[in-house]
Amino acid sequence: MAKAYMIGTGIGNLAAGIYLIRDGGWSGDQITMFGLEKHGANDGAEVSAYESEYGNPELSNNKGFLAKGGRMLNEETYENLWDVLRSVPSLDNPGQSVTDDILNFDHAHPTHDVARLMDRVDGIRNKGDQKDYSHMQFNNQDRFLLTKLMMLPESKEPQLNDVSIEQWFAKSPHIFTTNFWYMWQTTFAFKKESSATELRRYMNRMILEFSRINTLAGVTRTPYNQYESIILPMRKYLTDHGVNFVNNRKITEFEFKDTPLRDDIIVTGLKYEEVDNDNQTGEIEIGENDFVFDTNGAITDSSSIGDLNTPIKENMEYAPSAALWKQATEHFYNLGNPDKFFADRKQSEWLSFTVTTNNHFLLNEISRITQQEPGNALNTWIDSSNLLSIVVHHQPHFHTQKENETVFWGYVMYPRRKGDYVDKPFIEMTGKEMLEELLGHLAAVDPARDNISDHTEEIMDSIVNVIPAYMPYASALFNRRAVGDRPAVVPKNSKNLAFISQFAEMPFDMVFTEQYSFRCAQVAVYHFMGIPDSELTPLHHYEKQPKVLARATKTMFR
């Protein structure tokens, strides 16, 4: 009986397991999943749940909640995700699927951001003048270069090899001062240093969202954090079908068959360490009919967390998932270049913080200042030195969150820069200092006579915890790259190895999305199961629809 071994228990391999069972006719006991943690990039839990994964004996407070990041779904362009989750039963509403759960919640609580961009002088940039963020603020050179990038055929992508967004717009740096760029980079996590190739793909795949980016009306939110709303139901589905989850096992090395011409890629064994058992080592034999699905890059690898009184201590470890990928590249020439994504933290690092309070005073103050209810997406302070944003979720954001508690999340794009109100680099701040930095920016745009700054002591007394989370590779998938730096999902001549991650190459689709991971999973499973490509989930091509393009063109001149 054939077996499948999944390296990593992120959303891609969970999806692959479901595809094997649902479409491949496998039984769950044929599948084993190895994970260093249970959360992946779709995370969210009480802080105590992370202690074994990101444990730091110096932390003084293990209360509150932590969400290192937040994924924004999209109803129109996440075709594989909705298809798979229709097969996964809801944990909260018997008789419904996870797709039903999410879309019903989203339709009842549609996103409509009325305070997307903030600045110190004008507060919310929606006052009807040229600073109003419904205006993209392009000049003609911006429009020309952006349109030229969008219209570049995928066959011409080699022209963008190792080209950054900044280099593409070298003749019009004005674009980096526009409302468009402030919104685009903080919605999708792009930087000037990021790959122009990925911007091209996003502008085409997400062209439907371009005309409504100022309100983020296309953002689909989950009822709770993504771990509880998506990952837990998927794990339960797989467990109920007999899938074996092995936690805290680190796969350290592939063993390959030594074929005469070294053309065929055939995994014959996996070496591992038990990270919670004195690093005991072992080896798994891979049979000739078995398959290996590898997460060849994880954006939450080497994360570090702090707490209210403790700054993060940077973890300098090269990403374990990429180290395994790199070991495979030493055997075969066509498996990509992991260093392009994991050897330059300046391109990819992020720092987020999760705030838990024991009452709703701060939540209500933020709602008063931003003029929007919780659950309405992003607020970005465009003149903050770190480019600070917050996301105030629909409450509660966690199943175990108490009725009196509030949880929200924030992040900075440039953690090495000093704060505007706390005189130290953001990465060196404690959770309390990060909150002080946020309160300074809130006060700067607060027009009330009874300003939020008059309530600092009351707010600080309400704080349960503020958890910083540093992620050196959070946007590594946007790093500058060339054709060939990412391996194919199923590399040429691979008989039993597939890569399922944001660092595998597929045409057209866009990374930093669950859709990409789900699509990788389907491509890999269908290839090995002999299911024809014609049966892959159809993708929408809004970039070819005249009405959508007309709205986008109108937005360019708005």
pLDDT in tens, 300-353: 999 999 999 999 999 999 999 999 999 999 999 999 999 999 999 999 999 999
Burial of 404 (0-12, 13-18, 19+ CB in 10 A): exposed
pLDDT at 48: 64
Which residue stretches of the chain have pLDDT < 70?
38-41, 44-45, 48-60
The residue behind tokens 């249970």 is 38
Burial of 477 by CB count in 10 Å (0-12 exposed, 13-18 middle, 19+ buried)?
Answer: buried
Instruction: Give the Cα separation of 156 and 316 in Å (integer).
Output: 37
- The pTM score is 0.95
Contacts of 310 (CB under 8 A, 6+ apart): 56, 58, 59, 60, 61, 430, 431
CA distance 190 to 403: 36
CB 504 within 8 A of CB 517: no
**CATH classification number, 43-72+110-134+350-471, choose in 3.10.20.90, 3.30.465.10, 3.30.9.80, 3.30.43.10:** 3.30.9.80
CA pair distance 44, 28, nearest whole angstrom: 26
Q: For the chain, give every residue range classified as CATH 3.30.9.80.
A: 43-72+110-134+350-471
> Using only C-alpha atoms, what is the Rg of the chain?
23
Structure confidence at residue 58 (pLDDT): 53
Token look-up 């007999």 returns: 242
Tokens 């038990």, residue located: 274
Q: Which of 260, 319, 408, 357 is nearest to 41 (CA)?
A: 319
Strand order in the sheet with 280-285: 249-256, 267-274, 280-285
What is the predicted pLDDT for the residue at 300? Answer: 92
Does residue 526 carry a catalytic annotation? no
pLDDT of residue 125: 83
Given a contact cutoff of 8 angstroms between Cβ atoms, the answer to whether 380 and 388 are in contact is yes
Residue 59 near residue 307 (C-beta atoms within 8 A): yes
Enter the tokens of residue 383.
Answer: 């003149």
Apex CA 521: angle with CA 515 and CA 523, to 5°? 100
For 235, half-sphere exposure in the C-beta direction (CA atoms, 13 angstrom radius) is 22
Task: Please pick, among 19, 78, 202, 526, the residue that the annotation labels catalytic.
Answer: 202
**What are phi and psi for residue 321, nearest 5 degrees?**
-65, -35
Tell me whether strands 117-119 and 378-381 are parallel, antiparallel or unpaired: parallel
Residue 451 makes CB contacts below 8 A (sequence gap 6+) with 443
Apex 360 CA angle, 222 and 398, nearest 5:
30
**What was the pLDDT predicted at 347?**
92
Burial class (CB in 10 A: 0-12, 13-18, 19+), 21: buried
